[in-house]
Each structure stands twice: as C-alpha cells, then as structure tokens.
C-alpha cells in the first residue's frame, strides 16, 4: 500500500468542448499541464488525440477534443486536479486513473 507522500504515475483523459478552435484547445491543455506542475506534479507526456465522436451526447454536444496526459504526482494532488477539471467550462468530461504499468507492478 503506497504511503500518502509517495509519488505515483497517473493518466488523465479529458474531453475539451468541440466549439473551441485549435489555439483555444492548446490553451486549455497548457492550463491543465501548468495546474499539474503547480500541484508539484511532473508531466510525462501529453497527447492530443484530436476531435472524435462521443459515444453519447454530453451537454448537447456530439463530439469533443480528446487529450491524454500522463503525469507523476502525489495522491492528494489528484483530487485537486479532478476538481479543477470539473469546474472548467471548457472540459466536458474527465477521468484520472493510476497509470497501467504502475498498477500492474503493485
């Protein structure tokens, strides 16, 4: 069982509203990355997956811009990140999970 202070690797998949242009999407991505760094985390990789059709309508939107970010942070930083994403008007869905390779090792 990891201690509260142990840094873990996480991955976050979030969907940005489809009505934003490329520059606005980049701005949202950099805001999320900077927020993670501000919580003491480190960005391992950020992969913009592009615009995709959603499985079901979310807030009357049929598609969204998918972004996958892999980062390391302390467990308590994850709750703050989830809250920031939930409050963001530009992010319509998000999920943060322990990175698969690390989950397998435990």
**pLDDT tens figures, 8-32:** 999 999 999 999 999 999 999 999 9
Given a cut of 90, whether residue 59 has pLDDT beyond it is no
Q: Do residues 42 and 71 touch, judged by C-beta distance below 8 A?
A: yes
pLDDT band at 103 (very low <50, low <70, confident <90, very high): low
User: Which residues are CB-neighbours of 24 under 8 A, at least 6 positions away?
Assistant: 90
Q: pTM, whole model, 2 decimals?
A: 0.86
Tokens (6 digits) for 90:
């530009």
Is residue 64 predicted with pLDDT exceeding 50? yes
**What is the pLDDT, as a whole number, of residue 1?**
46
């Amino acid at each position: 069982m990891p201690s509260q202070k142990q840094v873990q690797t996480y991955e976050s998949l979030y969907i940005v509203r489809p009505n934003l242009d490329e520059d606005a999407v980049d701005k949202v991505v950099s805001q999320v990355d900077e927020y993670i760094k501000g919580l003491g985390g480190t960005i391992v990789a950020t992969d913009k997956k592009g615009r995709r059709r959603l499985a079901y309508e979310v807030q009357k939107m049929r598609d969204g811009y998918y972004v996958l970010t892999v980062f390391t942070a302390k467990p308590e930083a994850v709750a703050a990140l989830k809250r920031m994403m939930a409050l963001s008007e530009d992010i319509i869905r998000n999920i943060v999970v322990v990175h698969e390779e690390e989950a397998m090792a435990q």
